[in-house]
Amino acid sequence: MDPEKVREGFEQAVRLMNFAILLYKEQVKARRLFLHEHPFQATSWQLPEMENLLAHPAVEVTLTEMCAHGMTQTDAEGVGFVKKTTKFASNSPSILQAINKRCSRNNF
């Protein structure tokens, strides 16, 4: 892939993420709820704007494994659960508590 197009795509993704973070901050300020989800190892979690949001006292994070929510995929061996560790940020402790799940041995 053309390195210039990759750079442009990344810059656009950062602009969109920063816009979403701005909306999340507005939600917190207005005492409304937000929920943000991205893969656990996504670079978006290290953006300065995201780190600033996560430093807010009303914002918490949790991890979940998507197989605990029924996520599956099909490959050459058939259908199987996907462990995919996912990180969520929210200003709603009850939402985070509800989605904070790990896969059981039955999933594998």
**91: part of which helix (H) or strand (E)?**
none
Residue 63's SS3 state is strand
Residue 63 near residue 103, CB atoms below 8 Å? no
pLDDT in tens, 15-44: 999 999 999 999 999 999 999 999 999 999
d(CA 16, CA 62): 22
Q: Residue 59 is which amino acid?
A: V
The reported pTM is: 0.87
Confidence of residue 89 (pLDDT cuts 50, 70, 90): very high
